[in-house]
Chains A and B, each alone.
Chain A
Amino acid sequence: MAKVLVIADIKLGVLKSSTAELLSKARAIGAETAVLAIGSDIESLIPDLVNAGSDTQYIADDPGLELFSAGPYASCVVDAANQFNANLIWFGFSESGKAAAPRVAAQLSAACATEITDVEIEGGKIKVTRPAIANKVMQKILVNTEQLVAVVRAGAFEAKEGIKGTQNIVKLAAPEPDLKAVIKELVSDASGEIDLADADVVISVGRGARDQAGVDLVKELASDLKAGFGSSRAMVDGGFMAHNKQVGQTGKIVAPTLYIAIGISGAIQHLAGMNGSKVILAVNKDPEAPIFNVADYGIVGDLFEVVPILREQIKKIKS
């Protein structure tokens, strides 16, 4: 039987939805499941880890693990993978997962695949599907090793309601700190704003908004909808939006229920970050803008005129 170890995605002390999604998929392929939680002061997350659908919980809880450091993080994963005898080791889509997965694979001499969207096990052989070339193609990959370390693309798997695991806690020893890569500081972006990665609605602003006034206008729509507020690279380069707000290949990959692109042309690097969204609305004054090729609904118009009307109409319909 396949054994899947899911690395819990924990952000600011909260267990993210990807953990339950990955565990649901593991159960769907008939695998035995374990979860590994890494951090400091995370005991209180144990009930959530069980509820997410894991049957064993490896816990690496140590003050030295408060700030992310790829070396110690990967050591914890290798430790848990060895103890559980995992043949599939899955990270949810996160910067920590992307940094740790290749290390873990190298240490285990396992195959490694990032951004997978599907997994099959056929006659004991693992096959995975993933996008490549900026999402222009999909690849099917045959794994020749017994173990696969993978990062799962945001939104690829769905969490099934009502699956509960059983509690079976295994505490891991604290890993050695990485003395050659010392984290000096974390400039936190815990701004109290809604996290793009798990917002139900994401609104992104592009170069069409021109300046701060334009950005603020779109931001008001985002607050009305309690939406995550993101951006194309153009507005990050322009200094109007923070790096961590960028949606796309270099930025965040999001898959919300509703994605609203305002004043964004739809360059492939941007599309690669949001085309897994359930419904896409685009507002752009150019009827030929490529964003309309992926948008379910398109409004051709000047955002400075359309956004205030959008706010008004949405308020009306919500009341």
Chain B
Amino acid sequence: MKILATVKKVVDVELNIHVKDGAIVEDGLQYVINAWDENAVEACIRLKENNNAETTLVSIGVEDNTDIIRKCYAMGIDNAIHINDPALADADSSVFAKVLQKVCENGNYDLVITGKQAQDTDSGQTGIMLAEALQVPCVSNVIALEVTDDQHVKVSRLGDAGTEIVELELPAVVTVSDSINEPRLPAMRGIMMAKKKKINVMDLQALGTSIDEIRGDSPKSEIIEFMKSETRKAGQKFEGDAAEITAKVVDLLANEAKVL
């Protein structure tokens, strides 16, 4: 069984992010592996351990992705592909999905595991659009995954009315929630080995395609402006005698905010 995990390098959301003149201020930003993709990588490695799967990761991005790829190698991923092409600098989910489609067509993976969402876009589209492009089944927001036989996996998905248990015929795409697992910390041995492993870096041409084939002549949509988010202001905070301040706050909720 061949499995592909998709891994994006994203801005570290724990740090402050500033916006100036409609753009994000690059100064001081740091980039990390997308949190949900760590869950995808962990899910892959568990399938390697339990089902003898061969694991590959692919990361698309115009920056140096060596650090996050090494981290995934250290966790236990077998192979890594980095698609790096300047034409992809402003790509969105629909474009990444088409690039991933090419990667999948070249690699014949039985199962693709993506994160449910990238922390920089918060869009949650790429994996689902990839499945559409490949014309294979897909379940998103997966919280449990199990191989039933050579041709099937059984997944649990957190849906609106409860947990949906779905049997998927392979090849398939799943997008995973962080509830699926706890990503492991790489062991020292893994970190040492990771340094020696090769990364297969390719541009679109090497992948057998071009930006025109991937995207057409214009993107479906484009970000024209970044704005500050409307941050809430800190309100009234009370310290002191619990009985007194709690009574005060209940009074404010009822008579000032009028929400009780």
List residues of chain A with CB under 8 Å of any chain B CB: 11-12, 67-71, 94-96, 98-99, 101-103, 105-107, 109-115, 127, 129, 131-145, 148, 178-190, 201, 233, 236, 243-244, 246, 249-250, 257-258, 268, 275, 278-281, 287, 292-302, 305-306, 309-310, 313-314, 317-318
State whether A68 touches B163 (Cβ < 8 A). no
- Between-chain CB contacts (< 8 Å), 19 pairs: A11-B160, A105-B125, A106-B94, A111-B220, A114-B122, A132-B123, A133-B17, A133-B122, A136-B13, A144-B220, A181-B138, A189-B162, A258-B259, A279-B259, A280-B232, A280-B235, A298-B236, A301-B242, A317-B250
Residue among B160, B169, B223, B247 making CB contact with A95, cutoff 8 Å? B160
Interface residues of B (CB under 8 A from A): 11, 13-14, 17, 19, 24, 93-94, 97, 116-117, 119-125, 128-129, 131-133, 136-141, 143, 154, 157-169, 172, 177-179, 218-232, 234-239, 242-243, 245-247, 249-254, 257, 259-260
The answer for the CA separation of A99 and B137 in the assembled complex, in Å, is: 12
- DSSP class of A's interface residues: helix, strand, loop or mixed? mixed
Please provide the 3 A-B residue pairs with the shortest distance between their CB atoms, ordered closest to farther: A106-B132, A298-B237, A296-B235
Query: In this complex, what residue of B is CB-closest to A181?
Result: B137
> Which listed residue (B167, B247, B257) contacts A182, Cβ 8 A?
B167
- Which residue of chain A is the closest to B219 with respect to CB atoms? A144
> Which of A68, A138, A233, A275 lies in contact with B161, CB distance below 8 A?
A68
CB of B93 within 8 A of CB of A250, answer no
Question: In the complex, are the beta carbons of A138 and B228 less than 8 A apart?
Answer: yes
Known: A70-B128, A184-B154, A258-B260. 9 other contacts (CB 8 A): A70-B140, A98-B140, A112-B220, A113-B221, A134-B122, A144-B222, A183-B166, A188-B162, A300-B238
- In the docked arrangement, what's the CA distance between A179 and B152, Å? 12
Distance of A167 Cα from B103 Cα, bound (Å): 48
Please indicate the chain B residues that have their CB under 8 angstroms from the CB of A314 in the complex. 250, 260
A-B contact count (CB 8 A): 268
- In the complex, the answer to whether B137 meets A299 with C-beta atoms within 8 Å is no
Q: Judging by beta carbons under 8 Å apart, are B253 and A137 in contact?
A: no
Complex CA distance for A140 and B22, rounded to whole angstroms: 9
Contacting B260 at CB < 8 Å: which of A115, A309, A317? A317
* B160→A68 contact, CB < 8 A: yes
Q: Which residues of A contact B235 (CB under 8 A)?
A: 280, 295-298
Q: Which single member of A179, A182, A313 contacts B166 (CB below 8 Å)?
A: A182
Give the shortest distance, in Å, between A202 (CB) and chain B (any CB): 12
Q: Are B125 and A114 in contact (CB under 8 A)?
A: yes
Whole-angstrom CA separation of A253 from B252 in the bound complex: 26
> Contacts of B245 on A, CB cut-off 8 Å?
299-301
